[in-house]
Amino acid sequence: MSFTRMMYSFAQRDDFSVLDEPFYGPYLRLTGFDHPMRGKILDDRTKGADEVEKSLINSALGGKIHAYHKHMCQHMIEEIPRGFMSDCVNVFLIRHPARVVASFAKGYPDLTADDIGFDAQAGLFNHVQTLGQTPIVIDSGAPLPSTTSPTS
């Protein structure tokens, strides 16, 4: 399952609000990164990093009791606040590194390790552990557990 498909599945639930890459705009402003869709993203995401964090803390919008935030690890640079993470159930959806690289290579002609975000992901995972949480990890390539009962 992809990150985006998982987000869309939560968006189908009546009890969830969904936020897709809320720190993307602040990340682009802070780094000056020249992403191919930079102008559109900056036009659509006008909030600064602190404003985004406040909206995440209060993101169960429209009477919905749950929120799903899809974050990209590479957007979570040092200047992006992490206080909201202490109030979340933090889930890391991972996939095989070769698939990650292949996916990113399509949109990044000069791909770097920082673009992919593996180091950032490890740092975020460690940060969640320092909050006293045991993060949930879902491997997108792992087979689903069997739902059938064993027979004797």
Task: Return d(Cα 152, Cα 138) in angstroms, integer.
Answer: 31
Nearest by Cα to 42 from 58, 60, 23, 16: 23
- Residue-wise pLDDT for 16-37, tens only, equals 888 899 999 999 999 998 887 8
Q: Residue 103's CB: how many other CB atoms inside 10 A? A: 14
**What predicted TM-score, i.e. pTM, was given to this entire model?**
0.83
- Residue-wise pLDDT for 53-89, tens only, equals 988 877 656 678 888 899 999 999 999 999 999 988 9
Residues 13, 65 contacting (CB under 8 angstroms): no
* Torsion angles phi and psi, residue 92, rounded to 5: -110, 115
* Torsion angles phi and psi, residue 51, rounded to 5: -65, -40
Residue 3 has pLDDT above 90, yes or no: no
* Torsion angles phi and psi, residue 57, rounded to 5: -65, -30
Whole-number pLDDT of residue 65: 85
Whole-number pLDDT of residue 141: 81
CB-based burial, 49-78: b 16+ in 10 Å, e otherwise: beebbebbeebeeeeeeebbbbbebbbbbe
Whole-number pLDDT of residue 55: 86
